[in-house]
Chains A and B, each alone.
Chain A
């Protein structure tokens, strides 16, 4: 019984560690470039996506970088 409990707690710790590490990686990647990738993917997959929407993504990216750097 105790052995099973230990195994279960070990598994729980492992799952939590993996979960936290995934979230933290996500946080690290959050920013101008990931938002830009999301924006581009949205344009590609949307029915009405086109040239003008790509420009929107690029303008957003530049505004975001300027906000960070200037």
Chain B
């Protein structure tokens, strides 16, 4: 099973393995510093197209948005979590429509967290997290069906004929030893699950280490990334088998701490989290872009986190870095290589990726 090698509170043998790994990492870094001149940070430039920051229109006022998708026509779908709605815009940022409002009835949301656009069937799947259900809409916003669940859904992807739903890492799931990803058939029945809950030494670390992002790439692989704690990217093929597993190299040449050796017990411990993945997305060539960064400050005095996007291919090879002028929360790339960004102030921005 996947994840059997990760048990954060295991004792001596595990520590020995980590020391061995650190030793080889240092040797590798020494090797890079001598021979790795071509392995440096490669900057990818962007050009600003628009920022929806001077509008007096409530349709552009997002409140803690947690997911963003773009369809093949370039329409942007934003899950506006704490406003309990889905906002749809065209490729120029012009408002098209709103779906949903706060509540627990049909067509209403309570803390929606994830969205998936199925263009083949013309459907939109929304994780209505706090209502424990998936709601399915037409792309025009008409409610088609509702799947009631026994867990809180965070993210969803659809790979015919199943829905793959990433669960919120609730403590009860940990106690029951449940998997984090549930495969659900069209009748709403959970068929099976994969990716076990990582067990750590306390509740807070449990929650942070099991907070994941899940997306479907252009070749129908499922990509999973840990947001905090573990610097870990997993790629599952069409049969749900682990195809590849890699870590992100910070600044193209430095290994990032995996987070294996820490535990979060209080507020101060949050500083131990050196590296985060806020979001990730794909371009038309199926390269992955991780909105990420370290907790250190850049030369301009501002924090790096959320301001750096690392480009990788599916083999886990680093391809370049985009430095954002402002810290971001969510990213998405359309078919024309335009980067859409929701920044820290929840403003929708668009950039052209130049190289």
Contact = CB atoms under 8 A, between A and B. Distances in A.
Interface in A45-70: 51, 54-56, 58-59, 61-63, 65-70
Contact of A69 (B168, B171, B273): B273
A9 interface: no
A7 to B, nearest CB: 39
B329 A63 contact: no
A29 interface: yes
Contact of A33 (B227, B266, B276, B278): B266
B300 interface: no
Given A69-B228, A69-B305, A55 B267 contact: no
A70 to B, nearest CB: 5
Interface residues of B, number: 26
Contacts of B26: none
A32 interface: yes
Nearest to B169: A58
Given A33-B266, A62-B211, A70 B329 contact: yes
Contacts of A63: 64
Contact of A58 (B170, B267, B327): B170
Contacts of B228: 65, 69
B278 A70 contact: yes
A19 interface: no
A28 B268 CA distance: 9
A70 B276 contact: yes
Interface in A17-38: 28-29, 31-34
Interface string B116-134: 0000000000000110000
Contacts of B211: 62
Contact of A32 (B64, B267, B276): B267
Interface string B194-217: 000000000010011001000000
B159 to A, nearest CB: 26
